[in-house]
Amino acid sequence: MAQLRVAVVGAGAAGLCAARHILARPAVYAPPVVYELTENVGGTWCYDERVGCYDNGQPIPSSMYKNLRTNLPKEIMMFPDFPFDHQLPSFLSHQEVQRYLERYCRSHQVTPHIRFSTVVEEVNPVTLETEGAGPKTVWEVTSSDIEGAKKMETFDSVFVCSGHYSDPCLPDIPGMDHYKGTVIHSHSYRVPEPYSGQSVVVLGAGASGLDISVELAGVNAQVILSHGKPPFTFPLPPGIRQAAPLARVNQDGAFCFQDGSTARAEVLLLCTGYNYVFPYLRGDALGLEVRKELVSPLYRFLLPPAFPSLFIIGVCKLILPFPHFHCQVQFALRVLEGLVPLPSRAQMEEEVRGQMDAKRRLGVPNKHLLRLQADQWEYCQDLAWDGHFTPLSPIFRSLYEEVWRCRNVHPQDYRKANYRLASDTQWELIN
């Protein structure tokens, strides 16, 4: 049987994982073509102090800030078959994660298959008639290199691994035209020093909102952390006070919060998340609805039922990313190899619709329908069971839940801990 040709869009963690497993099956797959927009591997982990656009007009995708440290320990953040250096602390700088991904890339000899500084412009399905086997879908991928030279190639499958943390979600705030201060999204935040001594409203208290607020307080900024969560009961640093969600900007430029309180600030820093954007995919042609907050329907959170040789890796949120990619990639390759039979298109669409409707009945808004959190363990277990590959060790869930608990109790101190995996089911705190 002829080798299958696979295109991989993106050389971040998900794309490197896809390429690594494709290269491990030379009897089935030709070496992949990995398209990478930038000059480096690493995706979101590749820090770039620049913001805005490159010289060629392409937006700079990095959302990494200089002092970011992981909020997951290396013991479970790793790809299950490729550990971090055991001498490193559990919670790493982004530079260490970048070095890890570069080592992963070298160790699995992925680099020769990456086309750096290459923009994927279009990914289109084409139906071919084959003798005796019926119609077959192939994929035409159009790309352009740094010189602007275009190239179109045909593949049996495409793995979309371009991530969803580069297009800022900008909330619609009534009265914003009255605000004359600085507005910045966390996507363009790099260091706290430019905001030293200033008054800053940080909108959003997810992981980045909380981390950035603490950084700003460390350079004597006066921070108002505006969010819709229950008020934090753990101690925040001096210089940070909590506020209700932002309702509007008054005519005098003051911020008005939902509880009626008001405040003035020189800076509005939006930690409001990111949009799903795949500019090279035409959702309508793929039977997909691609909205800012949702991509659907995706069977197994992975593939459009209308075109089950297209795989969107890592679309879910609140997951353990690298192990999650590891499971999704292996399941997808089993599908391509014909080892995992899929239901009909109608059945897959009905299953996805049922899952989404069940979440909505529980009050889950559209923007959170792709959050897995506690459901991620059964999800990965099911992929492994159906795909006939080794499931994640129970230690991943056990330590993840412990760190999540510690983060909610001691958000400033939990990264001081160091862990060791004693077995597949037991971890130890070593300091």
pLDDT, one tens digit per residue, over 12-23 is 999 999 999 999
Helix, strand, coil percent values for the chain (each to nearest 5): 30, 25, 45
Percent of the chain with pLDDT over 90: 91
What pLDDT score does 409 carry? 86
**Section 197-202 average pLDDT:** 98
Q: Which of 10, 289, 11, 2 is nearest to 154 (CA)?
A: 2
User: What residues contact 62, with CB distance under 8 A and at least 6 apart?
Assistant: 44, 46, 47, 48, 166
**410 pLDDT exceeds 90?**
no
What pLDDT score does 352 carry? 97
Total Cβ atoms within 10 A of residue 408: 12
Position 187 confidence tier, pLDDT thresholds 50, 70, 90: very high
Average pLDDT for the chain: 95
**1 pLDDT exceeds 80?**
no
What pLDDT score does 221 carry? 97
Position 411 confidence tier, pLDDT thresholds 50, 70, 90: confident
**Section 372-383 average pLDDT:** 97
Q: What values do phi and psi take at 278, rounded to 5?
A: -130, 80
What pLDDT score does 23 carry? 98
Query: Angle at Cα 53 formed by Cα 47 and Cα 56, nearest 5°?
Result: 115
Q: Which residues pair with 82 in a beta bridge?
A: 79
What pLDDT score does 281 carry? 96
Alpha-carbon distance of 384 to 234, in angstroms, equals: 38
H or E segment to which residue 135 belongs: strand 134-144
**130 pLDDT exceeds 80?**
no
Check if the beta carbon of residue 44 is closer than 8 Å to that of residue 38.
no
| C-alpha neighbours within 13 Å on the C-beta side of residue 187 | 20
Position 234 confidence tier, pLDDT thresholds 50, 70, 90: confident
What pLDDT score does 393 carry? 95
Residue count (the chain): 431
**54 pLDDT exceeds 90?**
no
**134 pLDDT exceeds 80?**
no
pLDDT digits (tens, 9 = 90+) for 390-407: 999 999 999 999 999 998
pLDDT digits (tens, 9 = 90+) for 315-365: 999 999 999 999 999 999 999 999 999 999 999 999 999 999 999 999 999
248 burial class (0-12, 13-18, 19+ CB within 10 angstroms)? middle
Question: Chain-centre distance of CA 129, in angstroms?
Answer: 37
Alpha-carbon distance of 414 to 421, in angstroms, equals: 18
**Section 242-259 average pLDDT:** 97
What pLDDT score does 147 carry? 87
Position 273 confidence tier, pLDDT thresholds 50, 70, 90: very high
Q: Which residue has the tokens 């192939």?
A: 138
**216 pLDDT exceeds 90?**
yes
**Section 164-193 average pLDDT:** 96
Residue 295 DSSP label: E
**Section 239-250 average pLDDT:** 97
